[in-house]
Amino acid sequence: MRSGFGKALRLGVAAGGIALVKTTRWGGAPADLLAEHALEPGALEHADSVRAALAAVFEGHAGWPLTIVLADDLVRLWQVTPPANTTRLADLEAAAALRFQRLYGEPAAGWTIQAGWDPVRPFLAAALPRALLGALGQGAALQRLDTVEIVPQFVAVLNRYAGALRAGAWFGVVHDGVLTLGAVEAGGHAIGAVRAAALPDGADPAWLAAHVGREALRMNMAAPQRLQLWGSVPPAWLEAGACTRLGAAAPGGWSASARLAASGSAA
């Protein structure tokens, strides 16, 4: 049963496993890891497997508010330019779906599109697998949890730290051996493009600088004045001043799924 005002649950969902953490808004207490469950390859493609995994970690937590954080490799992220002279949400949704089809070569029928809809400026959109969303929502409801939102990790962290981003900075998430960068146009504030890259062994500050420079050239954008990164940031990057960290480091010994669950939380 739920106990404690201001407390909530966060579930991290990745292809290899799920993890459940408890967070609180008060007192600066760190997130508390409650449960983890490993998944067989392809388990997220089967609703029965998803429901069974949720039952394994949700036992005893009926009535809690729940945020579900999806690993970014389960979703798709892209920028949408709004049509000229429009104020209708339907037009923005159509533009996002058309851009999705052009980028990924398939219709968006099997996906649920979320976005920071904006009729004036380009905005970030995310497509979440519709079948997975249905299985997660049903599994949480069967365990009598109140699902507040289902959100990609990149978006969860961006929403948490958007107010801390400085002028001229690019935002990024380092998680499970992958660096996901959110590039910002010079003089702007909104994410203009999202790029993900696996970290090679020995990814030192020189590699980071070269990678960011290449990405800026590919996108025809000015290189950022600074990088603000969240997650498992290599200590060498911080020591060299190649970037600054957003938030505190995750507790030692936590799995990638547990760190995923805590992504974007105030704890």
Give the sign of the dihedral formed by CA 102, CA 103, CA 105, CA 106: negative
pLDDT at 249: 82
**Which helix H or strand E contains 52, and what residues bound it?**
helix 47-58
pLDDT at 266: 73
- How far apart are alpha carbons 149 and 30 in whole angstroms? 21
Is residue 122 a contact partner of residue 192, using CB atoms and an 8 Å limit? yes
The two tokens of residue 144 are 């009598």
pLDDT at 7: 85
Out of 3.30.420, 2.60.120, 3.10.129, 3.30.70, the CATH code matching 157-250 is 3.30.420
Nearest to 14 by CA among 265, 255, 266: 255
Dmax over CA atoms of the chain, in Å, equals 53
pLDDT digits (tens, 9 = 90+) for 92-146: 999 999 999 999 999 999 999 999 999 998 899 999 999 999 999 999 999 999 9
pLDDT at 189: 74
Q: What's domain 7-71+130-154's architecture?
A: 2-Layer Sandwich (3.30)
Residues with Cβ < 8 Å from 148, sequence gap 6 or more? Answer: 8, 65, 66, 67
If one compares 77 and 122, the residue with the highest pLDDT of the two is: 77
pLDDT at 137: 97
- How far apart are alpha carbons 179 and 237 in whole angstroms? 13
Residue 42, Cβ density class (10 Å: 0-12 exposed, 13-18 middle, ≥19 buried): exposed
Q: What b-and-e string marks burial along 224-247, b requiring 16 or more CB atoms within 10 Å of the CB?
A: beebbbbbbbbeebeeeebbebbb
pLDDT at 81: 92
Is residue 230 a contact partner of residue 210, using CB atoms and an 8 Å limit? no
What whole-number percentage of the chain has pLDDT above 70?
96
Q: What is the pTM of this model?
A: 0.93
Q: Is the pLDDT of residue 248 over 90?
A: no
pLDDT at 26: 66
Q: Is the pLDDT of residue 3 over 70?
A: no
If one compares 27 and 154, the residue with the highest pLDDT of the two is: 154
Is residue 248 a contact partner of residue 231, using CB atoms and an 8 Å limit? no
Q: Is the pLDDT of residue 190 over 90?
A: no
Edge-first strand listing for the sheet containing 32-38 = 32-38, 17-24, 7-14, 65-70, 146-152
pLDDT at 30: 81
